[in-house]
Amino acid sequence: MSDVLEQLGRVLEARKHADADKSYVASLHAKGLNKILEKVGEECTETIIAAKDAEQSGETRDVVYETADLWFHTLVMLSRLGLEPKDVLDELASRFNLSGLEEKASRDQ
Ligand SMILES: N=c1c2ncn([C@@H]3O[C@H](COP(=O)(O)OP(=O)(O)OP(=O)(O)O)[C@@H](O)[C@H]3O)c2ncn1[C@@H]1O[C@H](COP(=O)(O)O)[C@@H](O)[C@H]1O
């Protein structure tokens, strides 16, 4: 699993009950799930706008920046629900293995 995601997952867990005045993550938890979901929605929209701009301009820096914000807020959402990055990575890995097997099966026909 990605070291960055694993370490960030641990930090997010530790910040759940931190001082909301000192921690952005704690401040989101203090405001509740709806606030976290609002941020996920906002970052999703910002990512879409950045991607459309990037296609026009060829400048992709903002897409990476906004996607990082989106991933970050979805990780806070998962943490709120008692999940961790590994849960999503395991799901992706299982799909990857499945499609690999399907490709092999179609090649073998
Ligand atoms: N990776 C991040 C990270 N990415 C984005 N953000 C914050 O997400 C917010 C993005 O929202 P916006 O772009 O809408 O900016 P904003 O106007 O400041 O946000 P709002 O006031 O609208 O909520 C910003 O405040 C960013 O600082 C992050 N805040 C924290 N982290 C990591 O989370 C860890 C814990 O953070 P704290 O809880 O602050 O200790 C840190 O060590 C960092 O590694």
Q: Which domains does the chain have, with CATH numbers?
A: 4-84 (1.10.287.1080)
Task: Please give the ipTM for the structure prediction.
Answer: 0.90
For a mutational test of ligand 1's pocket, the pick from 24, 29, 40, i.e. the residue with the most ligand atoms closer than 8 A to its C-beta, is 24
Name the DSSP letter for residue 16. Answer: T
**Predicted local confidence at residue 53, as pLDDT:** 98
**Predicted local confidence at residue 72, as pLDDT:** 98
Q: Which atom of ligand 1 is nearest to the CA of 28?
A: 23
Contact 26, 15 (CB under 8 A): yes
**Predicted local confidence at residue 98, as pLDDT:** 67
**Predicted local confidence at residue 96, as pLDDT:** 84
Q: How far apart are CA 95 and CA 93, in angstroms?
A: 5
Contact 9, 86 (CB under 8 A): yes
* DSSP-based three-state secondary structure for 103: helix
Name the DSSP letter for residue 18. Answer: S
Q: How far apart are CA 84 and CA 11, in angstroms?
A: 11
Helix-then-strand count for the chain, H and E: 5, 0
The pLDDT profile of the chain, 109 residues, written as one tens digit per residue, is 579 999 999 999 999 999 999 999 999 999 999 999 999 999 999 999 999 999 999 999 999 999 999 999 999 999 999 999 999 999 999 998 766 666 667 777 6
Residue with tokens 């903002």: 62
Q: Measure 52 CA to ligand 1 centroid, in angstroms.
A: 23
Residue with tokens 């989106």: 70
Q: How far apart are CA 47 and CA 66, in angstroms?
A: 5
Q: Measure 24 CA to ligand 1 centroid, in angstroms.
A: 6
